[in-house]
């Protein structure tokens, strides 16, 4: 191409490039959009004593999806804000560290529960539910949680103490999930068998963020 032709071509393309430069960049394919959740319904449900009576682990879970409202209610019951003035939660936390991150694995992607905004922040696109446990049955269940402790959120304490607190806190949240599941007729399966290094890589965790447990929820599979 002659120099004069090249310059004419460049002049023609320049306005197009300028227009494209002014446009907002599209999100990368590997970054899912965030998800807004309906306002949680915090009234109703079975009486506490009945929910305790019905609480159990169920490992055979249907592929049927939870409705957005059911997912919203579940997340609030697990680790939601129940005292807005103090950012108090539905599960206790030593020194109010609130160090547990609740990662939500759905068919379309992985999200981090934003308790204050009651929404889901995008973490990774695609179906990664199979990575939430090393046992059969977790890949097709509609929702799985992964509990992650951010040890940097503790103001004091030894490494052993922080680990003990975090395990207790994850257990409190897990019990909330169990009781909600019992109240709503859902299946609930809490487990320690997770590939922590693989999950840490997927979730892009820092060294002081520790994967603790997985927890799968859905409707019981029909016999």
pLDDT tier at 26 (50, 70, 90 boundaries)? very low
Question: Residue 188: what pLDDT?
Answer: 98
- Mean pLDDT of the region 34-45: 94
Q: Do the beta carbons of residue 106 and residue 113 sit within 8 Å?
A: no
pLDDT, tens digit, for every residue of 162-204? 999 999 999 999 999 999 999 999 999 999 999 999 999 999 9
Residue 81 has pLDDT above 80, yes or no: yes
Residue 22 has pLDDT above 60, yes or no: no
Q: What's the mean pLDDT when you consider all of the chain?
A: 89
Question: What is the reported pTM?
Answer: 0.85
Alpha helices in the chain (DSSP H): 3-22, 48-54, 68-79, 159-184, 196-203
Q: Which domains does the chain have, with CATH numbers?
A: 34-218 (3.40.109.10)
Collapsing DSSP states into helix, strand and coil, what is residue 4? helix
Spell out the residues 6+ positions from residue 144 whose beta carbon is closer than 8 angstroms to its own.
104, 105, 129, 132, 133, 138, 214, 215, 216, 217
pLDDT, tens digit, for every residue of 131-157? 999 998 899 999 999 999 999 999 999
Percent of the chain with pLDDT over 70: 86
């Amino acid at each position: 191409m002659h120099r004069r032709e090249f310059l004419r071509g460049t002049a023609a393309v320049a306005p197009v490039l300028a227009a494209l430069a002014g446009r907002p960049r599209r999100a990368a394919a590997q970054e899912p959009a965030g998800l807004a959740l309906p306002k949680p319904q915090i009234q109703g449900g079975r009486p506490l004593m009945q929910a305790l009576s019905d609480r159990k682990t169920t490992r055979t879970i249907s592929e049927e999806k939870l409705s957005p409202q059911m997912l919203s209610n579940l997340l609030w019951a697990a680790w939601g804000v129940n005292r807005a003035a103090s950012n108090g939660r539905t599960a206790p936390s030593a020194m109010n560290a609130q160090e547990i991150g609740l990662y939500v694995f759905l068919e379309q992607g992985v999200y981090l529960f934003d308790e204050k905004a009651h929404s889901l922040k995008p973490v990774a696109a695609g179906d990664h539910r199979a990575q939430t446990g090393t046992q059969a049955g977790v890949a097709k269940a509609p929702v799985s949680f992964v509990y992650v402790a951010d040890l940097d959120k503790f103001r004091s304490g030894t490494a052993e103490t922080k680990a003990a607190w975090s395990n207790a806190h994850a257990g409190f949240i897990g019990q909330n999930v169990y009781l909600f599941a019992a109240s709503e007729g859902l299946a609930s399966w809490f487990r320690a068998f997770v590939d922590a290094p693989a999950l840490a890589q997927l979730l892009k965790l820092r060294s002081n963020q520790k994967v603790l447990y997985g927890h799968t929820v859905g409707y019981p599979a029909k016999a």
